[in-house]
Amino acid sequence: MHPDIREIQSVIEAESGTIQDVLGEVGKVIVGQKHLVESLLVGLLADGHILLEGVPGLAKTLSVKTLADTLDLSFARIQFTPDLLPADLTGTLVYSPKTGDFETRRGPIFASLILADEVNRAPAKVQSALLESMQEKQVTIGTTTYELPKPFLVLATQNPIEQEGTYPLPEAQVDRFMLKLKVTYPTKDEERRILEQMSGAKPPRVRKVATAEQIVKAREAVRMIYVDEKIREYVLDLVAATRRPEDFGLKISGLIAYGASPRAGLFLIHAARAHAFLQGRAYVTPEDVKALALDIFRHRILLTYEAEAKEVTSEDLARQILEHVTVP
């Protein structure tokens, strides 16, 4: 093992205990959904916002709320509706008769952990206000710009089956989400455990086991994790294959309208580092990249009409790319 990696390994071991405590606490409430819970922590560690998609009742909101309960961070749940205004999100200036001045009243966006429930129900003006906070980590009220707390993370949910009264998210905003997670139904055994656990006299509760300072320190440790040049090259090849699949022997170019943006490669490196951290490793392997590639490409590969006519999904194409691109 490289001497520098030994040093990084000792830092990882020192900082990873807190995150393992968080995993343990979340597991008391959330049955199964291992990939979902790990991916939420990847977003937290890699400083990347997350979009969760799934039918109602799959514990999307509960997962985020439970994660928030284990962290000593400010938390706000915002239920997005068609009549929501940007000021309902960011805050506004309120006139004070006593002083004769306008005072700033901050909105719920000034929390460290934001649950944006049914994010696609809000109109364009609200989406643009959310976009500024996600990208710039700041909010403008009147003529003054305010910094948002650190860490700051948006976890948004959307329902894929009910489209009445919804607004498709702009591609520019969707690209700001590091991961798009598809939440699926539990197995029969998992559902049995859910019934036993949640229908009892005392539903399980979690403890706060991590502070903002511990999360910031864990993030610093994640950024130290070693990424070999071959891994970087592999990430570049995966991203390139979404744009020029024929260069990699894939006959899917007629199905992809637009490939992944450069942000996809950056996010893939950050997320792979966070995944390695969760495994207690000081270096990234191709398996770390593969574990998160689908969640990073799912919303970044835009399909042609031909693909939609053939009922091919972006996930199908991402899987083909992962199978064909040579692993270092």
pLDDT of residue 12: 81
Residue 1 confidence class, pLDDT cut points 50, 70, 90: very low
For 149-181, write each residue's pLDDT tens digit: 888 889 888 877 666 656 677 777 788 899 998
Alpha-carbon distance of 92 to 105, in angstroms, equals 5
| Residue 169 identity | L
pLDDT confidence of 145, banded at 50, 70, 90? confident
- What is the arithmetic mean of pLDDT over 232-239? 93
Amino acid identity for residue 160 in this structure: P
The pLDDT value recorded for residue 324 is 86
Helix, strand, coil shares, percent, the chain, to 5: 50, 20, 30
- The pLDDT of residue 50 is 92
Sign for the pseudo-dihedral over CA of 16, 39, 316, 293: negative
Mean of the per-residue pLDDT values for the chain?
A: 84
* Residue 3, pLDDT above cutoff 60: no
pLDDT at residue 289, as a whole number: 92
Residue 229, class by beta-carbon neighbours within 10 Å (0-12 exposed, 13-18 middle, 19+ buried)?
exposed
* Full set of structural domains in the chain with CATH: 17-197+209-224 (3.40.50.300), 226-328 (1.10.8.80)
Contact 175, 263 (CB under 8 A): yes
Query: With b meaning 16 or more CB within 10 Å and e meaning fewer, what string describes 88-119?
Result: bbbbbeeeeeeeeeeeeeebbbbbbbbbbbbb
Q: 2: pLDDT confidence band, cut at 50, 70 and 90?
A: low
% of residues, the chain, pLDDT over 90 = 16
Q: Write down the pLDDT at residue 234.
A: 93
